[in-house]
C-alpha cells in the first residue's frame, strides 16, 4: 500500500512529496567522494529529516517503519549541483534552480532580503536551493563600478563597510576590480578580525590614467594570491589582470601554477563571457531562446542597453577570447588549481539553473572530463565553501540529490533529463520539477524594485 501511494504521488502533476523518511533504492550511486570516477550499481540511500542516514548495497539498507520507498530502477543518483556564482533578485527565481537540479547557490551581490531568503529556505518556509550570500559588493570609483556597489576609497570607509555588513548578518564579503590598495587591505584585515570570508574579482587598485596600456596595475595580480580569498572569480578577469589581456598559453600556464601553489580556487564563469559572444553571433536572437522568461524582467529592462550593444556587434565578436578562456580552464585543471562552477546566473541572459549546465558543457568543451566538470559543481564547491556538507553523498550529510536516467560521467547531457530532485527534505518528480519551473516565471517587478531600493538604502547607496 505504501509503495502504491508513492507511485500515485510521483504521477500526479505538479506534486512534490515531503517525507520524514525516504528510501531511494536500486540506483547506480555516483557519490563524488573520491578523486576518480566511481559508479556503484545496486545501491540504496536512506534519508531521514533531510539528512542522509545510510548508504550501501540494496541488501544492506532497509526502509524502516513508515518510510516512503522509491525504486530508482537502475537510474543514477548523484549529489545536487552547486552554483557558486549567481545573482538572485526575487524569490520567484529560486524554484528555477531546483528545477534544473541546482540545490545550493552562492549569491554574489547580497542585500538584506537575501539573508531573509536564506533563513526562510532553511526553515522550510520558502522553496529554493540552500542559499549562501555575500554582502553588498565593495568597490572603489572606477570604470567597473556599478549602481549596486558600495563604494569605498579610504581604509576607514572600508572598515566601516565591513563592520556594517557584519552587523546586518552577512559573513561573506565580495570585493571588486577597482578597489584602492588601502581599502582592499583594510577589508582583508577587518574581515579576518571578524571571521568573515572574502571572495571576488581580483582588485587592481585605482585605474589611473595610462593603466594598463602604459603603466602596470596598481595592485599586481600576483600580490593577491596569498591574500586568502576563498575564490577568484571569472577567467576573463584573471586573463585581463594577470596577463594584461594577452591570449598567451605559456603565460597562462605559468600563472596557473602560481595560483595553484598558493592554494587558490578559481570560479571560471565561462558562460558570463560566452553568452555575450552568443548574442553577437546570433545578432540578438539568442536573447529570445526558451527559458529567458525566468529572467527577472526588472533587471532585464536595466540590461537593455547591453542587449542592444552586443546584438549590434559583428558576428564572431570575442570568439577567440571565448575559446581561450575555455582552454585556460583546462590548463588550470591540469596545473592543480581547484575549480568551482559558477554561471553568473541572473544577469545579462544567464538563465537561473540552466546556466550551470551550460557552464559545465563549456568546461568539457575546453578539455575537462565530465567527471572533472561535475566535481566543480559538487565536491569541490562543498569542500571550499561553508555549505554544511553538501556536494557529496555520504552518511550524515544533507540529502541534496538528483536522479537521472543515464550516466552523466559518459555524457553530461544526462543532467538535462532529471527524473527527480531531493532538496530541503522534499522529493520532486518530473511533474514537480515542471511546476517549479512554472513558478519561476511568476516574477514581480514591483517586489524586485522595492527590495533593491531598500537594499541600496541599507548600504547607504543613493541613485542620482
> What is the grid cell recorded at 284?
540578438
* pLDDT number for residue 460: 86
Q: Of the CATH numbers 3.20.20.140, 3.10.28.10, 3.40.50.20, 3.40.50.620, which one belongs to the domain with range 81-390?
A: 3.20.20.140
Give the count of alpha carbons within 13 A of 93, CB side only: 29
Q: What percent of the chain has pLDDT over 70?
A: 95
Residue 13: pLDDT band (50, 70, 90) is: very low
**DSSP letter, residue 436:** H
Q: Distance between CA 415 and CA 418 in Å, rounded?
A: 6
- Is the pTM of the predicted complex or chain greater than 0.85? yes
Q: β-strand 40-48 against 21-29: which pairing, if any? A: antiparallel
Q: Distance between CA 117 and CA 127 in Å, rounded?
A: 9
Mean pLDDT over each residue of the chain, to the nearest integer: 94
Q: Distance between CA 79 and CA 106 in Å, rounded?
A: 16
Tell me the sheet residues that pair with 200: 175, 232
**pLDDT at 243 > cutoff 60:** yes
Q: What is the tens place of the pLDDT at every residue in 139-187?
A: 999 999 999 999 999 999 999 999 999 999 999 999 999 999 999 999 9
CB burial class (10 A; 0-12, 13-18, 19+) of residue 277?
Answer: buried
Q: What is the tens place of the pLDDT at every residue in 89-129?
A: 999 999 999 999 999 999 999 999 999 999 999 999 999 99
**pLDDT at 402 > cutoff 90:** yes
Tell me the sheet residues that pair with 265: 338
* pLDDT number for residue 3: 34
In 263-315, which ranges are E strands? 265-267
Tell me the sheet residues that pair with 105: 83, 131
* pLDDT number for residue 105: 98
* pLDDT number for residue 18: 60
Residue 221: pLDDT band (50, 70, 90) is: very high
**pLDDT at 8 > cutoff 50:** no
- Of residues 441 and 216, more confidence is placed in 216
Q: What is the tens place of the pLDDT at every residue in 441-455?
A: 898 999 999 999 999
**DSSP letter, residue 145:** -
Phi-psi region of 253 (alpha: psi -120 to 50; beta: other; left: phi over 0): alpha
Under CATH, what is the fold of the domain 2-79+393-440?
Answer: Urease, subunit C; domain 1 (2.30.40)
Q: What is the tens place of the pLDDT at every residue in 144-156?
A: 999 999 999 999 9
Backbone phi, then psi, for 302, in 5-degree steps? -70, -30
**pLDDT at 278 > cutoff 80:** yes
Helices H, strands E: what count in the chain? 15, 19
* pLDDT number for residue 9: 36
* pLDDT number for residue 347: 97
- Domain spans of the chain, in order of start: 2-79+393-440, 81-390
**pLDDT at 16 > cutoff 90:** no
Q: Distance between CA 77 and CA 421 in Å, rounded?
A: 9
Q: What average pLDDT does this structure show over 390-402? A: 98
**pLDDT at 6 > cutoff 90:** no
Q: What is the tens place of the pLDDT at every residue in 23-73?
A: 999 999 999 999 999 999 999 999 999 999 999 999 999 997 888 999 999
Residue 17: pLDDT band (50, 70, 90) is: low
**pLDDT at 1 > cutoff 70:** no
Cα-based distances in Å from 91 to 70, 104, 442: 30, 14, 10
Q: What average pLDDT does this structure show over 312-326? A: 97
Residue 213: pLDDT band (50, 70, 90) is: very high
**DSSP letter, residue 370:** H
**pLDDT at 267 > cutoff 80:** yes
Backbone phi, then psi, for 219, in 5-degree steps? -120, 115
> What is the grid cell recorded at 244?
594584461
C-beta separation of 276 from 348 below 8 A: yes
Q: What is the dihedral of CA 104, 109, 112, 113, to 10 degrees?
A: -50
* pLDDT number for residue 66: 84
**pLDDT at 15 > cutoff 50:** no
Amino acid at each position: 500500500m505504501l509503495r502504491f501511494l508513492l507511485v500515485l504521488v510521483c504521477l500526479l502533476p505538479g506534486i512534490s512529496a515531503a517525507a520524514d523518511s525516504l528510501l531511494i533504492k536500486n540506483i547506480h550511486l555516483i557519490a563524488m567522494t573520491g578523486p576518480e570516477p566511481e559508479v556503484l550499481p545496486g545501491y540504496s540511500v536512506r534519508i531521514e529529516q533531510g539528512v542522509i542516514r545510510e548508504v550501501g548495497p540494496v541488501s544492506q539498507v532497509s526502509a524502516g517503519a513508515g518510510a516512503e520507498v522509491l525504486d530508482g530502477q537502475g537510474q543514477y543518483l548523484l549529489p545536487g549541483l552547486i552554483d557558486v556564482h549567481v545573482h538572485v533578485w526575487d524569490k520567484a527565481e529560486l524554484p528555477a534552480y531546483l528545477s534544473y537540479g541546482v540545490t545550493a547557490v552562492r549569491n554574489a551581490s547580497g542585500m538584506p532580503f537575501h539573508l531573509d531568503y536564506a533563513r526562510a529556505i532553511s526553515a522550510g518556509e520558502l522553496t529554493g536551493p540552500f542559499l549562501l550570500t555575500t554582502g553588498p559588493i565593495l568597490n572603489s570609483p572606477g570604470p567597473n563600478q556599478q549602481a549596486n556597489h558600495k563604494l569605498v576609497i579610504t581604509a576607514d570607509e572600508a572598515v566601516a563597510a565591513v563592520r556594517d555588513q557584519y552587523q546586518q548578518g552577512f559573513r561573506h564579503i565580495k570585493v571588486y576590480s577597482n578597489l584602492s590598495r588601502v581599502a582592499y587591505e583594510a577589508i582583508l584585515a577587518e574581515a579576518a578580525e571578524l571571521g568573515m570570508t572574502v571572495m571576488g574579482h581580483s582588485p587592481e587598485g585605482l585605474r589611473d590614467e595610462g593603466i594598463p596600456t602604459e603603466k602596470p596595475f596598481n595592485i599586481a595580480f600576483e600580490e593577491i594570491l596569498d591574500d586568502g580569498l576563498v575564490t577568484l572569480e571569472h577567467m576573463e578577469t584573471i586573463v585581463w589582470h594577470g596577463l594584461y589581456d594577452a591570449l598567451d598559453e605559456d603565460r597562462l600556464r605559468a600563472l596557473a601554477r602560481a595560483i595553484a601553489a598558493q592554494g587558490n580556487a578559481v570560479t571560471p564563469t565561462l558562460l558570463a563571457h560566452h553568452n555575450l559572444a552568443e548574442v553577437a553571433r546570433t545578432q540578438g536572437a539568442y536573447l529570445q531562446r526558451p527559458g529567458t522568461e525566468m529572467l527577472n524582467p526588472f533587471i532585464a529592462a536595466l540590461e537593455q542597453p547591453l542587449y542592444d550593444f552586443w546584438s549590434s556587434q559583428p558576428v564572431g565578436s570575442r570568439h577567440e577570447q571565448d575559446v581561450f578562456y575555455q582552454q585556460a580552464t583546462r590548463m588550470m585543471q591540469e596545473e592543480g588549481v581547484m575549480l568551482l562552477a559558477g554561471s553568473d546566473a541572473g544577469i545579462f541572459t544567464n538563465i537561473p539553473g540552466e546556466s550551470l549546465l551550460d557552464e559545465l558543457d563549456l568546461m568539457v568543451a575546453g578539455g575537462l572530463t565530465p567527471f572533472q566538470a561535475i566535481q566543480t559543481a559538487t565536491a569541490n564547491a562543498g569542500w571550499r565553501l561553508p555549505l554544511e556538507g553538501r556536494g557529496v553523498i555520504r552518511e550524515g550529510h544533507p540529502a541534496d540529490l538528483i536522479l537521472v536516467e543515464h550516466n552523466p560521467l559518459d555524457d553530461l547531457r544526462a543532467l538535462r533529463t532529471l527524473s527527480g530532485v531531493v532538496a530541503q527534505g522534499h522529493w520532486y518528480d518530473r511533474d514537480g520539477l515542471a511546476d517549479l519551473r512554472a513558478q519561476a516565471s511568476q516574477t514581480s517587478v514591483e517586489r524586485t524594485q522595492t527590495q533593491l531600493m531598500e537594499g541600496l538604502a541599507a548600504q547607504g547607496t543613493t541613485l542620482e
